[in-house]
Structure 1
Amino acid sequence: MVDSSKAHAVLLSSPGLGHLTPVLELGKRLRTLNFKVTIFVVSSRTSAAESQVIESFTSLNLCEVIVLPPPDISHIIDPDATVVTRIAVLMRETRPAFSSAISALSSPPTVLIVDLFGTDNLEIADEFKIPKFVYIATHAWFVALTLYLPVLHESVKGEYGDEKNGLFIPGCMPLQPEDVIDPISCRSDQQYLESLNIGIKIPMADGILVNTWEELQPATLAALRDHKLWSGISKVPMIFPVGPIVTPTSPTDSNKTELFEWLEKQPIESVLYISFGSGGVLSNEQMIELAYGLELSQHRFIWVVRPPAEKKSRDGSFFTVGNSINANEGLASNLPEGFLDRTKNVGLIVSDWAPQVEILRHQSVGGFLSHCGWNSILESIANGVALIAWPLYAEQKMNGALLAEELRIAVRPKTLPWKGIVGREEIKMMVETLMAGEEGHAMRGRVKELKSSGESAWNHNGSSAKALAQFMC
């Protein structure tokens, strides 16, 4: 659909490390296929890690990166608005600046690609008379739900979480009540209306690039291509599964040497890595239970720890990840008394942020307790590491269900982490199941098969390579 010999792709990324990283990596893919690539980033201006990633990427000189200052939306949204609402409004209010910035480019764009929250900017492509695409940096089941949301909005009268039989999505397994994603869990919340707006706008696109691959979700992708299933939808754009697009490994920082020296001393696949992504935080009570559960399991671990959540926020570090100045200041006060001393021979605590891709790649790592962000899931699969699914916010509950029920590469707690406290005994049991049980052994076998299929998808004749080539034609 796009002639790469003269193509200039303009990409638009919303703020947040989890949104920015896959857009940058897609830009690199397009650049290696002879595209000229300009990436516009709406910065949060509050995350040190986000700024570091932009700076590091810019130094590669593969793509032009232009940071758009975030517009002031304080007069438009409530101070307690959700992350989804804040990002959606921010991206909508960016339209005039984005259009002007495109006009100022030295060479005109030939294709526009926006991320999920940038769909209000699709109309800018019409101003320049160029094709327009949406890059959804998650899985096909989420794409199907988003496209079908306008139909559900009309057909379901109450809250989606009250539907005892789950939500019907064409060609997909039903979305169970406990897995209904946060942005659509309350129809009176503005984030629901923003999600509905995204579902309405996506059919305007000429195609959807999805960060999955044919072999990972064949049935769901087939359903998205079967237009007979989608009555009530104005149009299902062409689907291009171009995953897995993940962050490549890079040389470790000198200040992280101690971590890898410790890993080198551990047996193969003996370490559980624990991280709740760029935004996730736990309550103080949950942190204490997790600490005791790890201690009771007696399994080796690396735990990325952040200060506990204020109020009931589970995404409290979304816009501030990487801002910790003193890595270990006050760390012990958030953990059980004596925990660090009792576990010093089996565990390692890291404050705020860790080089996740490099850790997951290490042969000593055998499991990942994850918040189930899609970037983290793909990084885990790409390194053949099975998971404990611990969703916190956004679409992560849906991701956890996909991991456990369809892909069968994750253990899930019976206690829902977003509703209650997962106790130490249940945590101990999950760790033992994943790291030492027969079920965990089977999961590791399956995830290694998925790792192989993901690598094959990007071979010369692989499914994702073909999909991107089809997008280029």
Structure 2
Amino acid sequence: MGKEIPTSDGVLLNTWEELQPLTLAAFRDETLLGRFTKTPVYPIGPLTRPLSGSRSELFDWLDKQPSESVIFVSFGSGGSLSYKQMTELAWGLELSQHRFIWVVRPPTKTAADDTFFTAGTASGDDDPSTYLPDGFLTRTKNKGLLVPIWAPQVEVLSHPSVGGFLSHCGWNSTLESVANGVPMIVWPLYSEQKMNSTLLAEELGVAVRPKELPSKKVVGREEIEKMVRQIIEDKEGKNATRARVKELKYSAEKALSKGGSSYNALSRLAQQITDLHATTESEALRAT
């Protein structure tokens, strides 16, 4: 795919100028990535899934929670944690004493399994009480909500009660979180997620992350507790991570509005297509 990029008329990227200015500048610089792309790059994002307008008991629960008080935990559709990691995550959420919504999937295989995660493979036992710590469901019933397998992520992230997102850092999830102004705890599992987590935590400053990759080591409950508190708690309005993601939320809205960077990029693409079509027609007429 990379080798074929120079043969294209342009590249559409689901991002926007203010989110990744360094990367986009590199694509346009003939001494950097521009040496290889050799074609216009159009950042036209953020393009995210629209709200469905559906309601459920999940949102009845969210409506009762204080503003930006809930941490949303979801690892996408392709990742499952080990039994050991799920145990530590459960304890970390409980010890933080903060509200949470956790999209739960069964862990990989058995309690003795040492794999930190796997893509799309789980034990098959859908009863959370069989793989979460004893008493966890009872102790957290007033603080947390477990959602089996899947949740309407865009709707959850757009709810005013949600104040943080513990995520695997897939690009769709990343854009949905930033576009809704929700800071993140990044938990990359595989593929480009590690690169995304570095961008979010180090370059953009909208996330915190474990000291070591979750794909290489079980993240302990104390560290999980600390990260949740760091994201949710705002001591005297000095939460720089939250302030930064709010800035990017507004820049995303501006980018898509008339006259914004993504709006203008798509307009340039439309003009390029129009000009190309006109040139093709003119050449065809001359040929006849």
Q: TM-score range by the shorter chain?
A: 0.7 to 0.9
Q: For residue 60 of structure 2, what is the aligned residue in structure 1?
A: 261
Higher relative contact order (CA 8 A, sep 6+): 2
Alpha-carbon distance in structure 2 between the residues aligned to 1:206 and 1:468: 14
In structure 1, the residue matched to 2:284 is none
| Aligned-residue offset at 1:231 | 8.1
Q: Tell me the CA shift for residue 230 of structure 1.
A: 4.3
Q: What letter is aligned with 2:159?
A: H
CA distance in 2, matches of 1:363, 1:440: 19
Among 450, 453, 470, the residue aligned to 2:251? 453
2:219 is aligned, of 422, 427, 444, to: 422
| The 10-residue stretch of structure 1 (219-228 or 257-266) with the greater mean CA deviation from structure 2 | 219-228
Closer, same or farther: CA 295–376 of 1 in aligned 2, 3 Å:
same
Residue 85 of structure 2 contacts residue 116 of structure 2 at CA under 8 Å; is this kept in 1?
Answer: no
Q: Kindly tell me: are residues 349 and 231 of structure 1, through their superposed partners in 2, closer, same or farther at Cα, counting changes over 3 Å?
A: closer
Deviations 1:293-342 (A, max 9, x none): 10111100000000112474845339x9xxx9xxx942211211111001
2:274 is aligned to none
**Shift of the alpha carbon at 1:437?**
4.8
Which secondary structure does the structure 2 equivalent of 1:444 belong to?
helix
Question: Aligned runs of 1:153-192 on 2, under 5 Å?
Answer: none
Counterpart of 1:365 in structure 2: which amino acid?
V
Q: Distance in 2 between matches of 1:341 and 1:230?
A: 54
Separation in structure 2 between the aligned mates of residue 316 and residue 347 of structure 1, nearest angstrom: 26
Please report how far the alpha carbon of residue 215 of structure 1 lies from its aligned counterpart in structure 2 after TM superposition. Answer: 1.3
Contact kept? 2:101, 2:145, Cα under 8 Å:
yes
Aligned to 1:369: 166
1:284 aligns with 2:86: no
**Alpha-carbon distance in structure 2 between the residues aligned to 1:251 and 1:279:** 25
Residue identity opposite 2:171 in structure 1: W
State the AA in 1 paired with 2:262: S
Change over 3 Å in CA distance of 1:313–1:346 after alignment to 2: closer
CA distance in 2, matches of 1:238, 1:461: 19
Q: 1:236 aligns with which of 29, 35, 38?
A: 38
Is the contact between residue 433 and residue 440 of structure 1 (CA under 8 Å) also seen in structure 2?
no
TM-score (normalizing by structure 2): 0.87
Q: Are 1:284 and 1:334, in contact at CA under 8 Å, matched by a contact in 2?
A: yes
**Do residues 381 (structure 1) and 178 (structure 2) align?**
yes
Q: How many Å apart are 1:440 and its aligned residue? A: 7.5
**Partner secondary structure for residue 51 of structure 2:** coil
Note the 1:199-210 alignment, pairs <5 A.
199-210=2-13
Distance 1:213 1:232, change over 3 A: closer
Deviations 1:266-286 (A, max 9, x none): 111000000001212111110
Distance 1:358 1:217, change over 3 A: same
SS in 2 for 1:281: strand
Q: Is contact 2:116-2:218 (8 Å) kept? A: no
2:49 pairs with one of 236, 240, 247: 247
Letter in 1 for 2:204: L
* Change beyond 3 A, Cα 1:345–1:402: same
Gaps of 5+ in 1: 1-197
2:18 paired with 1:224: no
Q: Is the 8 A contact 1:434 1:440 kept in 2?
A: no
- Structure 2 unpaired stretches of 5+: 272-288
| Structure 1 residues 246 and 315, CA gap change in structure 2 (3 angstroms) | farther
Aligned length: 265
